[in-house]
Amino acid sequence: MTPAIQVTGLGKKYGQVHALRGISFEVAQGEFFGLLGPNGAGKSTTLNILAGLTRPSSGIARVMGYDVVGEFRLSRRNLGVVPQEVSTDRLMSIRKTLQVQAGLFGVRKASAWIEELLHRLYLWEHRDKLGHELSGGMKRRLLVAKALVHKPPVVILDEPTAGVDVELRREFWGFIREIHAAGTTILLTTHYLDEAEDGCERIGILGQGRILALEKTSDLLKRHSDRELRLRFDRPLPQIPVSLREFAAELLEGGHVLALRTKGKEDREAFWRRLADLGIAPVDVEVKRPDLEDVFLELTRGRGEQQGRELPV
């Protein structure tokens, strides 16, 4: 089956600055894919190239098999974009805005679908309000409705919940999960890593215009098997035992808690052996598995440290 999104050797230069350094990835039809990375990693550049807002310097990007440069009239008909920045037409009502947006994508009879969208995005009661009368949350929901008004098979969400309150975020993700379940491919960028972890089946992490990781979310989390341990003792430890210092251990709460980090299974086994040799036993053990944020920081921080050495494209 044709991939929903296919990016091959995509590069973008702004003067001497490389925003993208020949990245490649694919997103299958019906997949929920997350593209993460720190500011300036190249996420928005990638999305903008797919949407037609930015011209690539090299490489190819396709949406539903259509080249975003050579066949843009088809690639754009198959794509809906929820942009990062909120914008509305100040003098047009919500309903008129959606009718016009449908027309721009060649949809003549959109009334029923527009009505459905307005209901599902809780905009029905505000349908006749003008752009300048809308609250921030309504504008955000309108952006989603505009992106979906032509029923595109692929939807790009560029940090869609930035600055959005908890209630609206929950409603928003509920609706996005519904359209995903109905077959829409989702490409998400976000700084809320818990959202990516919850929703995305696969994740690509960008840094310095390169792909640092590209795998299933569960594999990505498994691969990084660090654990944070917090051991509580009923009698405080006077100091960190010498044999445990290599685990980056520190004493907290007046010596009652020993916090440390182990890297992998063997490391953990070694730790437990040494603790047993010391003859001290904790009354409580708390283990924290890595979440996407830890993985993200590990990958991107590592990349940042190598920054000085990394120049070739």
- State the DSSP code for 123: -
Q: In this structure, are residues 152 and 142 in contact, taking their beta carbons and an 8 Å threshold?
A: no
Beta carbon nearer to another protein, 140 or 303: 140
How many residues make contact with another protein (CB under 8 A)? Answer: 45
Should residue 77 be labelled a site residue for another protein when binding is judged by CB under 8 A? Answer: yes
Among 6, 46, 54, 189, binds another protein (CB under 8 A): 54
Stretch that binds another protein, among 83-91, 198-206, 260-268, 302-310 (CB under 8 A): 83-91
Task: In angstroms, give the least distance from the CB of 49 to another protein.
Answer: 10
Residue 28 three-state SS: coil
**Helix/strand number for the chain, H first, E second:** 10, 14
Contact pattern for another protein over residues 252 through 291, marking x by CB under 8 A: ----------------------------------------
Should residue 101 be labelled a site residue for another protein when binding is judged by CB under 8 A? Answer: yes
Among 83, 199, 207, 290, binds another protein (CB under 8 A): 83
Residue 247 three-state SS: helix
Among 70, 116, 276, 289, binds another protein (CB under 8 A): 116
Question: Which residue is it, tokens 């037609």?
Answer: 52
Residue 261: C-alpha distances to residues 92, 220, 249, 264, 265 (Å): 56, 19, 7, 10, 12
Among 1, 16, 39, 106, binds another protein (CB under 8 A): 106
Question: d(Cα 205, Cα 23) in Å, to the nearest integer?
Answer: 11
Closest CA to 157 of 86, 217, 80: 80
Closest CA to 137 of 102, 112, 164: 164
Contact pattern for another protein over residues 125 through 164, marking x by CB under 8 A: ---------------------x----xxxx----------
Question: d(Cα 98, Cα 225) in Å, to the nearest integer?
Answer: 47
Which residues form the interface with another protein (CB under 8 A)? Answer: 14, 48, 51-55, 64, 72-74, 76-79, 81, 83, 85-92, 100-101, 103-106, 108, 113, 116, 146, 151-154, 178-179, 181-184
